[in-house]
Amino acid sequence: MTIAHTLGFPRIGAQRELKFAQESFWRGDITEATLRETGSDLRARHWGLQKQAGLDFVSVGDFAWYDQVLNTLALLGALPRRFGFDAKQLTLADYYLAARGNPQHFAMEMTKWFDTNYHYLVPEWTADTSFDGGTDWLFEELAQAQSLGHAAKATLIGPLTLLYLGKIKSGLTHKLDLLPRIIPAYQRLLARLQEQGVEWVQIDEPILALDLDNAWLDAFILSYNALAQNTPKVLLSTYFESVQERTALLHALPITGLHLDLVRAPQQLRTLLANWPQGRVLSAGVIDGRNIWRADLSSLLADLHAVHAQLGDNLWLAPSCSLLHVPVDLATETAIDAETLSWLAFATQKLDEVVALKQALNGNADKVAHQFTAADQAIASRRKSVRIHNPIVQKRLAAITEQDVTRHNAFKQRIGQQQQRFALPLFPTTSIGSFPQTRTIRQARATYKRGDLSHLEYLEAMRAEIRLVVEQQEKLDIDVLVHGEPERNDMVEYFGEQLWGYGFTLNGWVQSYGSRCVKPPFIYGDVYRPEAMTVSWSEYAQRLTSKPMKGMLTGPVTMLQWSFVRDDQPRSTTALQIALALRDEVADLEKAGIGMIQIDEPAFREGLPLKQQDWSAYLDWAVRAFKLSSAVVRDDTQIHTHMCYSEFNDILPWIAAMDADVITIETSRSDMELLDGFGEFAYPNDIGPGVYDIHSPRVPKVSEMQRLLQKARSVLPDARLWVNPDCGLKTRDWPETIAALENMVQAAKLLRATV
């Protein structure tokens, strides 16, 4: 019989119960025992869903109090020594101290889990890192599942992925130096799991899909051979990319099963199956764990028949990866129309999809016929629906020419015209867009959404904010102003709500990190802009000042990256459609007299594929999308862009190819380090390396910013240099914002006086 399972299930709860319990605990409103109870209830509920759907195992080990990597470290006793924890007696307060820090201890660093929007806590590797055993949470949770009568599969992050994702802090030359310490720890864990009667353990090694050198590849052979004795059956799981380059290695490993992501990389199946080891289980990840679309069950089943014929009962079925990355349940989406709703599947629905396929393969097609019929209908409706397919957009897209994605003249000519038009001083000062999103703003928006504030009243409240922001900037004597973005709840949602083809959920929360969840919109159809989105705000703001007012837009790649996207056309096509909509907005802004337009692309780098060989294909279309959105303007209209990070030396030619007249970037936290790489291939256009960190309420001194500016001047010509903060100011309060900007303007003025 074909087995159905999942690599993991979202832990937050359909109503974000875990988030609210965590936050109450942090505030001191509930005790550790109450928080633990919430966790235990959620686990029981999620296992119940898995069993009820008809999975053969429930997954244990995917729950975490903050993050799964942190939990793994707790299990191994490998949390950073600097916290001074008692490894065997960790309290939940300890977990949260490691995750969030306090005045005595800085928090562990956080970074994105592969190419997802989930953030994990980065293990800290030092000479005295040990894996001598920590808390027993995994064994306790297994006992909980067993006592509820579930067949439990344990899940663990694999030793090599764990080592790889950590950072060497001190005393080690290579992360693999820790291998001799971590392998015995995993041996002990596996032996204990076996003692506890666990038949299968899923060990996640997603790094297998990355570019790995021989040292890491050899370590796989060594480690998994060492782990082969005294253990439950091992299902090694890979996801997010193809592992077909590793076929020989994987076939040689002494494991009982292998999971493949056949949504991201369906083509790998053929290579891996070519000489599939006798008796090995293949867990086929066929249901998309990274997106929210209902699966095309019939076509999946057709493909699976052949695999089933080859592998028989050794074929298992699963989502492509853990369902952590999708919302919990569609059942509460009461505001989406019936047709669109029929196209979607969240985690709970995806369990049913896996089971429907399993039933069909096991000869019970009649039992799940209704699911197949419903899926067929949804697929057919998606293929034809006028909500999705807009011939006007498609025609426009097909007609894009090189001219459309190229400014009329090169930067060297444009900048002269722009200087003439704007007459800015040397080292012009500006900001990134948003100003403090105060309680007043949030309240006005909430009241408006509730219907207790009329449209005109809301408009006036936002205009009052804009007046305030403009007035303050004039007082500060900033050179290029912004309107402050008070009308925007979120930089993607704001635009998505005004574009055809974008859908929103009421409850589609996905964990981003710790208690923080995001609710990404979903792009279901050809993107189309029915009317101007920002023009009236920018126009209004420009009327308040004689200084240039920057128009402010979110770029196509960021719109794409922070949404669930269509799976019925390439990402690049969707990006170009968004770019067309933005292009019209840019043209309208220009027509309305806005002379500078900033198109933010904070997620540009995030879109990079996991394998380096795929980078240039991505970068080519990402750059093209940006240029399509921006290259519509006259030479004397100045295009700005913004990115919230500074590591782009490896993609600098593409950043330059975007050909924005001005780019503002994050550099203050890295002490202008990025500029080090600028030597031979300096960024050719204007650049504003952030001179202060907006992530902290601390007001930077004039001298600090002067020092950073001097550093920038050693690499960049004075004429190309702008002065601005690192990022938008929406999370800051007014007093610190004013104080910081005052110092920033002062730093620029002092510098001007010296040249």
Binding partner at 323 among ligand GLN, Zn ion, none, C-beta below 5 to 8 Å by kind: none
Stretch that binds Zn ion, among 50-58, 76-84, 304-312, 721-729 (CB under 5 A): 721-729
Q: Does 219 bind Zn ion (CB under 5 A)?
A: no
Q: Is the dihedral of CA 246, 247, 249, 255 positive or negative?
A: positive
Of 328 and 432, nearer to ligand GLN (C-beta) is 432
By CB under 6 A, what part of segment 217-256 binds ligand GLN? none
Nearer to ligand GLN, 345 or 541 (CB): 541
Q: Which listed residue (358, 463, 605, 730) binds ligand GLN by CB under 6 A?
A: 730
Using CB under 6 A as the criterion, what x/- string covers residues 485-504 for binding ligand GLN? x-----x-------------
491 is an interface residue for Zn ion by CB under 5 A: no
The piece of 359-367, 431-439, 444-452, 582-590 that touches ligand GLN (CB under 6 A) is 431-439
Q: Least distance in Å: CB of 65 to Zn ion?
A: 30
What is the CB neighbour count within 10 angstroms for residue 212? 18
- According to the binding rule CB under 6 A, does residue 552 interact with ligand GLN? yes
Which residues are CB-neighbours of 424 under 8 A, at least 6 positions away?
A: 479, 480, 548
Query: Collapsing DSSP states into helix, strand and coil, what is residue 317?
Result: strand
β-bridge partners, 599:
553, 641
Nearer to Zn ion, 393 or 644 (CB): 644
Cα 710 off chain centre by: 34
Nearer to ligand GLN by Cβ, of 7 and 492: the residue is: 492
Which single residue is written with the structure tokens 């989105």? 533
| Rounded least distance, CB 236 to Zn ion, Å | 38
The single residue listed with the structure tokens 């992360």 is 175
Q: Is there binding between residue 675 and Zn ion (CB under 5 A)?
A: no
Integer Cα distance of 140 and 148 in angstroms: 12
Residue with smaller CB distance to ligand GLN, 159 or 551: 551
> What's the min distance (Å) between Cβ of 708 and Zn ion?
17
In angstroms, what is the minimal distance from the CB of 437 to ligand GLN? Answer: 9
CB of 712 to Zn ion, least distance (A): 18
Pairing between strand 119-121 and 110-112? antiparallel
The option from ligand GLN, Zn ion, none interacting with 552 (CB < 5 to 8 A, set by class) reads ligand GLN
CA pseudo-torsion sign 131, 134, 138, 139: positive
CA distance 686 to 662: 4
Pattern 584-623, binding to Zn ion, x per CB under 5 A?
------------------x---------------------
Binding region for Zn(2+): 642, 644, 666, 727
In the bound state, the residue with its beta carbon closest to ligand GLN is 728
* Distance separating alpha carbons of residues 728 and 434, to the nearest angstrom: 5
d(CA 735, CA 698): 11
Choice between 549 and 727, CB closer to Zn ion: 727
Distances (CA, A) of 13 to 33, 489, 646: 18, 24, 35
Of 359, 575, 728, 732, the one binding ligand GLN (CB under 6 A) is: 728
- 454 vs 731, which CB is nearer to Zn ion? 731
Query: Would residue 101 be called left, alpha or beta, if left means φ above 0 and alpha means ψ between -120 and 50 degrees?
Result: left
Site for ligand GLN in 578-607 (CB under 6 A): 600, 602
Q: Is the dihedral of CA 710, 713, 719, 722 positive or negative?
A: negative
Could you say whether residue 642 binds ligand GLN (CB under 6 A)?
yes
Annotated binding site, which residues? 16-19, 112, 117, 432-434, 485, 516-517, 562, 600, 606, 642, 644, 666, 727
The residue with tokens 């990389």 is 265
Q: Which is nearer to ligand GLN, 372 or 494 (CB)?
A: 494
Q: Which is nearer to Zn ion, 193 or 491 (CB)?
A: 491
572-585: buried (b, 16+ CB within 10 Å) or exposed (e) per residue? bbbbbbbbbbbbbb
Q: Which residues are catalytic?
A: 695
DSSP for 406-429 reads: S-SS-HHHHHHHHHHHH-PPSS-B
Check if the beta carbon of residue 619 is closer than 8 Å to that of residue 654. yes
* Per-residue binding letters, 622-661, with Zn ion (x by CB under 5 A): ----------------------x-----------------
Query: In the bound complex, what is the minimum distance in angstroms from residue 120's beta carbon to Zn ion?
Result: 22
Asked if 373 and 292 count as a contact pair (C-beta separation under 8 A), the reply is no
Q: Count CA atoms closer than 13 A to 51's CA, side-chain side.
A: 16
Residue 727 within binding range of Zn ion, rule CB under 5 A = yes
Task: Evaluate whether 157 touches 61 at the Cβ level (below 8 Å).
Answer: no
Residue 61 near which of Zn ion, ligand GLN, none (CB within 5-8 Å, type-dependent): none
In eight-state DSSP terms, residue 512 is E
What does the per-residue mask of binding to ligand GLN show for 432-451, with x meaning CB under 6 A? xxx-----------------
Residue 691 binds Zn ion (CB under 5 A) = no
State the minimum distance, in angstroms, from the CB of residue 539 to ligand GLN. Answer: 18
Q: Which does 433 bind (CB under 5 to 8 A by kind): ligand GLN, Zn ion, none?
A: ligand GLN
> Which of the choices Zn ion, ligand GLN, none does residue 434 contact, using the CB cut-off of 5 to 8 A by kind?
ligand GLN
Burial profile 105-129: b = 16 or more Cβ within 10 angstroms, e = fewer: eeebebeebbebbbbbbbbbbbeeb
DSSP class of residue 564 equals: B
* Residue span binding ligand GLN (CB under 6 A) among the ranges 394-402, 430-438, 448-456, 494-502: 430-438
Q: What is the largest CA-CA distance in the chain?
A: 83
Radius of gyration of the chain (CA): 27
Binding region for ligand GLN (CB under 6 A) out of 30-38, 108-116, 495-503, 723-731: 723-731
CB of 646 to Zn ion, least distance (A): 11
The footprint of ligand GLN on residues 457-486 (CB under 6 A) is 485
* DSSP annotation of 678: G
Give the interface size with ligand GLN as a residue count (CB under 6 A): 13
3-state secondary structure 568-633: CCCHHHHHHHHHHHHHHHHHHHHHCCCCEEEEECCCCHHHCCCCHHHHHHHHHHHHHHHHHHHCCC
Report the alpha-carbon distance of residue 731 to residue 274 in Å, rounded. 54
Which of the stretches 122-130, 201-209, 675-683, 722-730 binds ligand GLN when contact is defined by CB under 6 A?
A: 722-730
Quick one: 501 or 688, whose CB is closer to Zn ion?
A: 688
The closest of 678, 755, 677, 690 to 722, measured between CA atoms, is 690
Give min distance, CB of 290 to ligand GLN, in A.
Answer: 22
Residues of the shown chain interacting with ligand GLN in the complex, contacts defined by CB under 6 A: 432-434, 485, 491, 552, 600, 602, 642, 644, 727-728, 730
Q: Which residues bind Zn ion (CB under 5 A)?
A: 602, 644, 727
